[in-house]
Amino acid sequence: MTELRADIKCAIRNQVSQAVDETLITDIHTHIYPHTFEALLLWGIDELLTYHYLIAETMRYLDMGYEHFWALPKRAQAELVWKTLFIERSPVSEACRGVLTTLEKLGLDVSKRDLEAYRKFFAEQKVDKYIDKVFELARVKCVVMTNDPFDDTEIGYWLDSRQRDERFRAALRLDALLNSWHTAVPKLKEWGYNVSSEINSQTVSEVRRFLVEWLNRMNAVYMAVSLPPSFAFPEASPRGQLISECILPTARETGKPFAMMIGVKKLTNPALRLAGDSVGKANIDVVEYLCANYPDVKFLVTMLSRENQHELCVAARKFRNLHVFGCWWFLNNPSLIDEITRMRLELLGLSMTPQHSDARVLDQLIYKWAHSRRIIAEVLTDKYADLAAAGWQATEQEIRRDVGALFGDNFWRFVG
């Protein structure tokens, strides 16, 4: 293999960057909503600053009690984050940098460090037009939401027939059902499902009725759950029984994938609330067991621990009903995206979805995708350069096809 000339690599980089920048993305896991979901849609500078990633970072520098922080109004929390992470020290963390990228791409002058000016800009935006602007700047075509029928606020928006926004697709999130069955039971009963704490045949058929009704009501593209590192299957627990008797049969019958987000240790520090979750290495055998024993069920899987990434790729080589996606949460950092994306391309070729944004605040689509795009483009450049060194020059059209696959086409093909 000959060494590739620098100008050829540069030409490849230009072609790849252009394709990566211009391809409109399907963002397959987010926590944002259309504006018809009113207060559920978070946007603007105070929401950006009170992102739970930034709260965790802020609290490391403060002596203030956690409860004292939570008792502050959101504006005051945002001001404290701004002062602590942006003014008193340089905002080098990925989540801090993200705020700056977002403001800068919105045309604001970050060099001024002028929180009030940023607030004024957001106060002048009309939310529906602003959504268009963010989607345009992020070059995102559509997003998949996280939709929890056990969330009292969210449920109302699904039960009335307000107009849907096709850019926002639903995912039926089942953490409450699978991870806290005892709290799900009274709610299911209240909604008219004839269930009991014991998972007997009546309960199984009623939970399946619940799943199908909600999949239809939301027109959901998949079912999803976040799972602890200790996740085991098969298992005699309510979760194990519900997965085997309700989720998997429903996934098979409806053709909807079951998305498993594995490796979160909930509330390691409960005082930090949403910012208090941590990570642990999970057991890949569980993923392999499910894929092997349920070949007619589609599994979308992301794992939170860096240590699980290699074996997850190997598992996906063995099972085509397993679609690996995203660099989730604590992995959504440049050095890790680079490493994980390289490894996935080397082991899986283009048969995966390298990233999702996990945006909780609308505006985050701008920075999460700007940052990820840059890294993915660089990794792809190296890969196409390696091919060129072997005498295989990918055409512009081929590069665009491949980027399209990574940024949504693979996902839609898998979903069916």
Residue ranges in contact with ligand RAT by CB under 6 A: 31, 146, 226, 261, 329, 358, 360
- Axis crossing angle, helix 396-404 with helix 364-389, rounded to the nearest 10: 130
Helix (H, G, I), strand (E, B) or coil at 88: coil
CB nearer to ligand RAT: give 20 or 55: 55
Closest CA to 247 of 298, 188, 320, 312: 298
256 interface partner picked from Zn ion, ligand RAT, none, CB below 5 to 8 A per type: none
Q: Which two tokens stand for residue 31?
A: 């926590």
- What's the min distance (Å) between Cβ of 359 and ligand RAT? 9
Minimum distance between the CB of residue 42 and Zn ion, rounded to whole angstroms? 13
C-alpha span between 227 and 175 (Å, rounded): 8
Is the Cα dihedral 311, 317, 319, 323 positive or negative?
positive
With tokens 């941590």, the residue in question is: 278
Q: Which of Zn ion, ligand RAT, none interacts with 352 (beta carbon under 5 to 8 A by kind)?
A: none
Nearer to ligand RAT, 13 or 265 (CB): 265
Nearest distance from C-beta of residue 150 to Zn ion, angstroms: 16
Residue nearest to Zn ion (CB): 358
Please name the helix (run of DSSP H) or strand (run of DSSP E) that holds residue 12, with its range, or none: helix 6-22
Closer by beta carbon to Zn ion, 264 or else 297: 264
CA distance 342 to 138: 23
Cβ distance to ligand RAT smaller for residue 279 or 284? 279
Closest approach, Cβ 31 to Zn ion, in A, equals: 6
Cβ at position 314, least distance to ligand RAT in Å: 24
Q: Which is nearer to Zn ion, 148 or 358 (CB)?
A: 358
Alpha-carbon distance of 275 to 52, in angstroms, equals 5
Q: Which positions from 336 through 375 interact with Zn ion, judged by CB under 5 A?
A: 358
226 interacts with, out of Zn ion, ligand RAT, none, CB within 5 to 8 A per kind = ligand RAT
Distance CA 324, CA 318 (A): 12
CA distance 3 to 55: 47
Longest CA–CA span in the chain (Å) reads 69
Pairing of β 299-303 and β 264-265: unpaired
Report which DSSP code applies to 141: E
Q: Of ligand RAT, Zn ion, none, which one sits near residue 103, judging by CB under 5 to 8 A according to partner kind?
A: none
Cβ proximity to ligand RAT, 188 vs 261, nearer residue: 261
Q: Report the residue number, 277 or 402, with the smaller CB distance to Zn ion.
A: 277
Q: What's the rounded Cα separation, in Å, for the pair 138 and 315?
A: 32
- 203 to 242, contacts with Zn ion by CB under 5 A? none
- Count, residues near Zn ion per rule CB under 5 A: 1
Question: Minimum Å distance from CB 224 to ligand RAT?
Answer: 8
In whole angstroms, how close is the CB of 358 to ligand RAT at the nearest point?
4
- Residue 313 and residue 331: Cα distance in Å, rounded? 15
Among Zn ion, ligand RAT, none, partner that 360 touches (CB below 5 to 8 angstroms by kind): ligand RAT
Give yes or no for a contact between 101 and 367, defined as CB atoms under 8 angstroms apart. yes
Contact between 202 and 239 under an 8 Å Cβ cutoff? The reply is no
CB of 346 to ligand RAT, least distance (A): 26
CA separation for the pair 13, 24 (Å, rounded): 19
CB 94 within 8 A of CB 371: yes
Closest to ligand RAT by CB, 43 vs 193, is 43
Sheet holding 258-262: strands in order across?
171-173, 222-227, 258-262, 299-303, 322-324
Instruction: Kindly tell me which of 258 and 384 has the beta carbon lying closer to ligand RAT.
Output: 258
> Contact between 175 and Zn ion (CB under 5 A)?
no
Helix (H) or strand (E) holding 168: strand 168-169
CB closer to ligand RAT out of 46 and 358: 358
In angstroms, give the least distance from the CB of 342 to ligand RAT: 23
Alpha helices in 139-267 (DSSP H): 152-159, 175-179, 181-190, 201-218, 238-242, 248-254
- Which of Zn ion, ligand RAT, none binds 400 (CB below 5-8 Å, type-dependent)? none
Minimum gap (Å) between residue 295 Cβ and ligand RAT: 27
Which residues of this chain interact with Zn ion, rule CB under 5 A?
358
